[in-house]
Amino acid sequence: MLKPFRRGIIIVLALLFILEVSVAIAKKSMEFPVHPVPLEIQTKQGMVSYRVEIAFTPTHAAAGLMYRTDFPRDRAMIFRNQANNKVKNEQKMFMWMANTPLPLDMIFLNAEGIIVSIVQKTSPFSTDIISSEVPATFAIEVNAGEVSEKKIEKGQRVLHPEICGKCESDTK
């Protein structure tokens, strides 16, 4: 029979082990399914297309790209401003890079899918708050450098059914 002290030590060690496993699981990146419809951005050079992951639920939005060490260049992740679910008018949108090892470009959109703000080359792991600076309904994250390389600018239109329903290109 174990003495009470040894039993206590074994219980404490078992609890620490369980805690460590829980933390390791919590730090695992989340992969989201790719939406069947590509996200398209109308630029002056033509249409830019991304395979898109949707992060609209609170759990998905909280996880985002945290702990992901690889994000294909043809991929984007879209978020909906949770504050706008509670009020009728658009609010500024706030993001951060905590636990995100990849530098990103963030593209902020209004409810019609028009780009209203862009933040380029965010710093990995930063806990600084990144603001849309103006009211925004959606944020799109792409790999750092995509905005500059693809000449994505404020005022351009983003097309995707999750953003604007059955929206159509301005050039059609």
pLDDT band for 30, please (50, 70, 90 cuts).
confident
> Do the strands 75-80 and 46-55 form a parallel or antiparallel pair, or are they unpaired?
parallel
**CA-wise closest residue to 35 among 22, 45, 49:** 49
Check pLDDT > 90 for residue 12.
Answer: no
Mean pLDDT for the stretch of residues 22-48? 81
Torsion angle of the four alpha carbons 47, 50, 51, 55, in this order, in degrees rounded to the nearest 10 = -120
How many residues are given for the chain? 172
Q: Which of 28, 64, 87, 88 is nearest to 140 (CA)?
A: 64
Please give the average per-residue pLDDT across 31-48, as a whole number: 93
Residue 23: what pLDDT? Answer: 46
Amino acid at 163: I
Region 80-99 average pLDDT: 78
- Of 73, 90, 72, the closest CA to residue 81 belongs to 90
Amino acid type, 15 = L
